[in-house]
Amino acid sequence: MNQNQSCRMNRPGLLLLGVIILTFLRGETILPSERDKKEILTINKKKRTYYQLHNNTLTYKIAGPKRVEIIARGVVPKKDYKEVRFAYNLIIDNGDSIIISHSAAKIKNITSSKHPGHGFTLPGKYFINIPKGNHWFKIEPIPKVDVPVVIRVRVKGFEKGDEHRQFVQAVAGIKPKNLIIGEKSVRYYELKHGERLQFEPKKLYKLTFLSRLAFVNGMSNYENYQIRVWKDEIIYGTYFFSTEKSEDSIIKEDKKVIPGKWRSCEINLSKSKHTYSVELLDKGKKVFVRCLGNQ
């Protein structure tokens, strides 16, 4: 009798622990200041809160360090099945405006009472790393763009390093460069605009891509760059990074280059086999990429 009572008493605790773990893995949804723009989407019978980005700006305040995921969906007529392009402007703190563009097809099983006669596209995902301290960012509509957009934002903290992570080699047999930090040598792959690095992870549940911008003469001490990750031929996500020079590291094969401080993005893997690719979106820039996997 006592044992059964003990079991019943522990179940709420176990459920709470499960919710905490799930929130950490999936991320916590954050709300904009413009709460009145809320729109509930029913996605495969599940309710999800999005916010309309039609003729208004969405403003978010956040305390870092955090990783932010911006999920955008285009709103299209139900009879329209072709792939559509939709976009928005992103402003972080007082930085320059960045145009974020996605291309996606409409999918079934998504409805909203605020958009009768319309459907929604597959999600376009964009990621930003927010540094320590209090920050804000704005998402603005682009004038004269035909496709309305709805937005959902999630955040999660950065995971700590894992000693069980292993170096994952690129599939094309590319020889990595050697980044020297003190007496330590670390392997990174060089990546230029217009190229892709491909990886085929095996028996791993997560990939972490570490990237460092290559600083050369003529660049400022602080620079931005974007990388895109593909899952097979589907865009997994686009990542925006701000970085600065790392004066305590060099590239052994090219000592004229000063590597930037590393920035990371994480990919949760499914059990089925896929090829993951990384590309740099900034013309005239170069990055060094290191892929690590968790078993």
Give SS3 for 10: helix
- Could you tell me which residues are beta bridge partners of residue 156? 67
Q: Which residues of 11-41 are buried (b: 16+ CB within 10 A; e: fewer)?
A: eeeeeeeeeeeeeeeebeeeebebeebebeb
Check residue 163 and give its pLDDT: 57
Tokens of 110: 């998504």
Q: Delineate the domains of the chain, giving CATH numbers in brackets.
A: 28-156 (2.60.120), 166-294 (2.60.120)
Q: Contact at 8 Å (CB) between 178 and 185?
A: yes
* DSSP category for residue 245: B
Alpha carbons within 13 angstroms on the beta-carbon side of residue 37 total 19
Q: Contact at 8 Å (CB) between 273 and 200?
A: yes
How far apart are the C-alpha atoms of 269 and 25, rounded to whole Å?
12
CA-angle at 42, arms to 37 and 45, nearest 5°:
160
Check residue 42 and give its pLDDT: 97
Cβ neighbors of 264 (< 8 A, separation 6 or more) are 129, 158, 208, 209, 210, 211
**How would you classify the pairing of strands 286-294 and 166-167?**
antiparallel
Q: Contact at 8 Å (CB) between 182 and 248?
A: yes
Check residue 247 and give its pLDDT: 87
How far apart are the C-alpha atoms of 73 and 261, rounded to whole Å?
33
Check residue 2 and give its pLDDT: 37
- In the chain (295 residues long), the average pLDDT of successive 10-residue segments reads 36 40 60 97 96 95 94 91 91 93 92 94 94 96 89 84 80 94 95 97 94 96 96 94 93 95 93 96 97 93
